[in-house]
Structure 1
Amino acid sequence: MNHSPAASERSLLQEFAAAFPQSSADVQIFRAPGRVNLIGEHTDYNDGFVMPAAISFDVRVACARNKSGQLVMRSLQQSQTETFSVDDQSPTPKHDWTDYTRGVLLQLARTSHRIPGADVLIDGQVPMGAGLSSSAALEVASALALLHTTERTSDPTEVAKLCQRAENEFVGARCGIMDQFASANGRSGHALLLDCRSLEFSYVPLPPNIAVVICNTMVKHSIAGGEYSKRRAECEECVRYFARIRPGISSLRDVTEDVFREHAGGLADVLLRRCRHVIRENARVLGAAGAFARDDIKSVGQLMYASHASLRDDYEVSCPELDIMVDLARSIPGTYGSRMTGGGFGGCTVSLVAKGSVDEFRTQVRDGYERATHVCPEIYLPDIADGAGPAS
């Protein structure tokens, strides 16, 4: 994450030539960014609204076509070379880093994009297990690289949908569309207001005097774990309850605040709280979009704090370290808002901070968090980046 893009590309090409000398003349590099979600957590798989932004930490995939009928994979972050048949229509997941690219390969084959064989070298610069979508970035970069070997292209939104299917069906994580969509469709200096039902979206300009600061608790998380799937199942149970009352309801997106208030008494307490989070988080996303449009960053910040409280108390996906980080941020002058970001159970917070206050923010958060937890956090100040494409 400390290398310039040009230096990273030169280094990656040199590594590729050493690993795959027979195909290095035809190598191309594709990049896909991670993302940070400003507001709208656990709403994407409920057909709701989210506001992510692509960040300048990315995954780069160097790829060249081969004629072996094999997908040959290496990663700069891993020590081994892995080889798989491109014609295997019933592959078995290995439950490791290769599954993301292999899942994409399988989805491409199912959509009539036959890959003749490819040599692939991966350089991942998105912190893993931090809730910044390292897996989605790998999937999207892999999709663009493998598509290039077929001499075909695809619309960014179609790439995002294909990569989501890869993670749902092969990796086994029941994620929504947000992560892949933000990686594919990001725009420098902008967040995306995304409707996860229609996939309609608009770009939200971010104020130039505000920094997006990401604080890593160093507590690892994985959305392939059981708690994430449990939350999704709880939401589905809520939908079944409300659909019996109002037949037109097909997701929690359809449950209005009035309907919720009228009928929430029939839900078990835990389901009531899950449902309340999703309904009100959707409202917070739309409220934040309106506040950004008015340049009312103070209101955006208050919505972020409310989002974190809901994720902590109603959705129960925070953890003590995330709560400490948000409380620290809130106490520092120049901080407009802060909340956990990503699936939860660890990972990162995102804060909106006046640019003139960033140095003091970093010092106070680092020192305060280390005093409270005896762990030194990582603090990132990424650029808000363009979406995936060929490396420049």
Structure 2
Amino acid sequence: MPSYSDKRIHATVSELKLNFLRTFNVVAEDDVEWLLFTFAPGRVNFFGEHVDYMGGYVCPAALKEGCHILVGRVRHLCDGKLRFAREDDECFVLDRLGQAKHDKNWRTFVRGAATLALNDLGMPIDAPELQGFCAISKGTLPMGSGMSASASFDVALLNAITTVATRRYRGKCYVPGTRFPILPPCSREERIKLTKQAHRIETEFCGVNVGIMDQFSAIHATEGSFMALDCDSLTFESHPLSYLLGDSACFLLINSMIRHELTGSTAGGYNTLRSDAEGAQAVVRKHKMNNAAFTFRDLARNPKKFTKDPVAFVESCRPHFTPGQYDRGIFNIAEQIRTLQFIELCRPECLLSQEERFRKAGELLNATHQGQRDLLKISTEELNFIHRAINLEEGVSGGRLMGGGFGGCILLLLKKNALERVVKNVQQKFNSRFGLVCDVYPVVLGDGAFVASLWQGVEGKL
């Protein structure tokens, strides 16, 4: 069983079922052939911001909240169209595949997922396997918090559509649950393909040149651990957080209450960050390596091959950089080095004491936030306020902006016995300054996406 318990599946399916019947105008339940329930998680990223698209290491983990989708075949709607609904929105009827305008409207995700999945299978939208397809989704991540609600939606949609199209929900090799049989994981090759399809929804349909970390985490994560993910080879090692946290420390997210949205001018800003980092790497390659093969990834992982000081190596090209390339280049190489240092702190063979690991991780977190604020320029007044406030509190090791920036949450590392006091003090200060109570979320790590079959034959009841 995944970390999403059988009891929780039952509660979520029961809730979605009522909305499904109402939304799709189902009068009698024998009008529905229940097919599947699928879940894909959001993510937290401990280190490696804005380096996934540069092929560096990142440290994501799955949360226990995300996107939940219930799928059934409604007999009176077998008209060659796919129907999707969210709890808080009207039904979207998809009658053709293909790309529409670039935006992050939820319907764009649906169109992207259906187009990529069905084109890969060579299947038309009105195929017999898809007749009467109706799906309703529910998100349990706070929107705009930087926990990658969009990637969880990508992955859940693709799992729902592909599983129905291939009739995999009828398979007999289930991982048994007390009530809901969980389909076994696909092959690594299939999971990588799904990851890349989910990534393409964001880049080709939504128009934002994000990296692949969020989608990969939603599919491959393991409960209680983060992944040291190589974004170039798409290979990873799992690392339990317990070696860093012990019994006395934990991570926490504090929401700035400014929605993180990579759309409109913000999408342009994100794409510019990527362009600047890639441009900086090209400048170093030209002026330091005479156009020989070179990446910041190589410099961070094997610095002795190039220099004694990787950051100074990049800084030496400052006359050739644009201002944006300089800032983003310096941040990128420094963040890749910090990410490698964080991974080492979480290994069992690390020679530092538990307290020394705790303090060092906080220093790295604070250094990343300073770079995000001053070099990437993706922080906000609210995020910086929270960051200053937490670092005044005893028992807090450090923290930083999490995610792509322009809003979202501060991730902080602190002692468990300080948690209640820190939350109370930060919320009071934030409310006094901004007139809002900032939400807080515990960081509880879960497994990656799964699909539960609900199929009991044509006449099966849920």
TM-score class, shorter = over 0.9
CA distance in 2, matches of 1:106, 1:23: 27
Output one character per residue of 1:301-328: Cα deviation in whole Å (capped at 9) or x when no partner: 1111111111111111111111111111
- The offset of 1:236, in angstroms, is 2.5
CA distance in 2, matches of 1:254, 1:49: 11
1:383 pairs, out of 432, 438, 444, with 444
1:171 pairs, out of 189, 206, 209, with 206
CA distance in 2, matches of 1:339, 1:386: 24
Counterpart in 1 of 2:177?
none
1:218 pairs, out of 230, 245, 257, with 257
Counterpart in 1 of 2:156?
141
- What code does the residue aligned with 2:365 have? M
Note the residue ranges of structure 1 that are not aligned, 5 or more in a row. none
Q: Does the 8 A contact of 1:52 with 1:193 survive in 2?
A: yes
- The offset of 1:297, in angstroms, is 2.3
Pair 1:112-2:112 in alignment: no
Q: Does the 8 A contact of 1:216 with 1:348 survive in 2?
A: yes
1:73 pairs, out of 84, 98, 101, with 84
Once the two structures are superposed, the pairs formed by residues 1-392 of structure 1 within 5 Å of their partners are 5-20=9-24, 21=26, 24-65=32-73, 67-78=78-89, 80-85=90-95, 87-92=96-101, 95-112=104-121, 114=123, 116=127, 117=130, 118-150=133-165, 151-152=167-168, 155-207=190-242, 209=247, 210-224=249-263, 225-245=267-287, 246=289, 247-249=291-293, 251-255=295-299, 257=310, 259-293=313-347, 294=350, 295=354, 296-390=357-451
- The offset of 1:229, in angstroms, is 1.2
CA distance in 1, matches of 2:339, 2:12: 36
CA distance in 2, matches of 1:40, 1:90: 31
Query: Against the structure 1 CA distance between its residues 113 and 326, is the aligned structure 2 distance closer, same or farther, given a 3 Å change threshold?
Result: farther
Note the residue ranges of structure 2 that are not aligned, 5 or more in a row. 1-6, 169-185, 301-309, 454-462
Bigger mean CA deviation after superposition, 258-267 or 218-227: 258-267
Q: Does the 8 A contact of 1:175 with 1:223 survive in 2?
A: no
User: Larger C-alpha radius of gyration, 1 or 2?
Assistant: 2
Q: Secondary structure at the match of 1:303?
A: helix
Q: Secondary structure at the match of 2:238?
A: strand
Output one character per residue of 1:160-219: Cα deviation in whole Å (capped at 9) or x when no partner: 111001110011111100111111111111111111111111111112533221111111
CA distance in 1, matches of 2:377, 2:202: 24
CA distance in 2, matches of 1:40, 1:23: 49
TM-score, length-normalised on structure 1?
0.92
Output one character per residue of 1:337-386: Cα deviation in whole Å (capped at 9) or x when no partner: 21100111111111122222221221112112112222211111142111
Output one character per residue of 1:137-161: Cα deviation in whole Å (capped at 9) or x when no partner: 0001111111110224563332111
Output one character per residue of 1:221-278: Cα deviation in whole Å (capped at 9) or x when no partner: 2123221111112123223322323324465434551641443332133311110000
Name the Cα RMSD after superposition: 2.2
Q: Secondary structure at the match of 2:121?
A: coil
Q: Does the 8 A contact of 1:213 with 1:352 survive in 2?
A: yes
- The offset of 1:11, in angstroms, is 0.5
- What code does the residue aligned with 1:149 have? V
